[in-house]
Amino acid sequence: MSISPESFAFVADLVRRRSAIQLTPGKEYLVESRLLPLARTAGLDLDAYVTRLRTVGAPADQAAVIEAMTTNETSWFRDGAPYAALRGTELPRLVAARGGTGRLRVWSAACSTGQEPYSIAMSLLDDLPAAMTSEIIATDLSEQVLERARSGRYSQLEVNRGMPAAMLVRHMVRAGTEWELSAAVRHLVSFRAHNLLDAPPAGPFDIVFLRNVLIYFDLPTKRAILDRVLRVLRPDGVLLLGAAESTLGVHEGYERVTVERSSVYRPLAARGLPAPATLPSPRPAGFGHPSTPSPLPVPAAHALSRGAAR
């Protein structure tokens, strides 16, 4: 079932306005495949469904379209190299800079169903000294994927996508036909709805993961997002992007540094930006090393998702 040019243009504009994701000509097949289930549920063909969307414009229908157009492709320790850089160079550098004490804060943006922030949490649990605590804020546009992430449960097929056997043994347990993350891992991560077009979560952050999402935006949007990130990143912090992404030619406030088999991005001291705003109040103790676990609940949340046309 083909979508008309007028209907495609409307959907592309809606998605751009709500999420800044660009659906360029040639992506009609993607819109058709993603929206056809919604149209069938409504008992309509594609163009009739989009016509209803244009004329009625119910917020719930628009939200369903945005959800449908968002692909949440993710896996454990995705691509490998960024985590090697994190554990091999960036964590030791940050720990040394803080004297092995204090709290390390991480933002996992466009976190999808949680494999990325939980992979980060496992790395922190294994590598941070006992005197340091940590906190991971994980955000996404999609409430559906956030609910899945908060559950901390994954199918065998999902676990098979990148989970090292040693990590599986240390940090997950069987739960029927699924695998469940340990409380120590889950307590490190707070999931919140957030759109990258909006103001970022309250900083400062020592580490920001913004991987495999900038590729879906135009240049001004990329620049604006990187600027927001820079303003909540500590002066000695680090930004990790996807393998096909870079700040070069996009934002002048970062320095690309080759680490392990990948590149990381650190703020340029010469940028002259004000220091990231401090948090209004300290986080309760208990986020951090497994030697000091805490029964803190995973907070309910305060949405751009990892990828669109994947």
Q: Which of 78, 140, 206, 211 is catalytic?
A: 140
For 259, the token pair is 């680490």
CA angle 187, 242, 87 (to 5 degrees): 50
Q: In which residue ranges of the chain is CATH 1.10.155 found?
A: 5-68
Which one, of 104, 103, 110, lies nearest residue 78 by Cα?
Answer: 110
Each residue's pLDDT, cut to its tens digit, for the chain (310 residues) gives 588 888 888 888 888 777 777 778 888 888 888 888 888 888 888 888 888 888 876 777 787 787 777 666 688 888 888 999 999 999 999 999 999 999 999 999 999 899 999 999 999 999 999 999 999 999 998 888 899 999 999 999 899 988 999 999 999 999 999 999 999 999 999 999 998 989 999 989 999 999 988 988 889 999 999 999 999 999 999 999 998 899 999 999 999 999 877 899 999 964 444 444 444 433 333 323 333 333 333 333 333 444 443 3
Which one, of 111, 135, 130, 110, lies nearest residue 185 by Cα?
Answer: 135
Instruction: State the number of CA atoms in the 13 A half-sphere of 21 facing the CB.
Output: 28
Which one, of 89, 8, 98, lies nearest residue 50 by Cα?
Answer: 8
In sequence order, the 6+-apart residues with CB closer than 8 A to the CB of 248 are 256
CATH architecture, domain defined by 5-68: Orthogonal Bundle (1.10)
Whether 271 sits among the annotated catalytic residues: the reply is no
For 224, the token pair is 């604006």
Q: Which of 34, 211, 231, 266 is catalytic?
A: 34
81-271 is a CATH 3.40.50.150 domain: yes
Q: In which residue ranges of the chain is CATH 3.40.50.150 found?
A: 81-271
- The amino acid occupying position 54 is R
Task: Specify the pLDDT at position 153.
Answer: 95
Whether 198 sits among the annotated catalytic residues: the reply is no
Task: Specify the pLDDT at position 269.
Answer: 67
Contact (CB, 8 A) for 128 and 104: yes
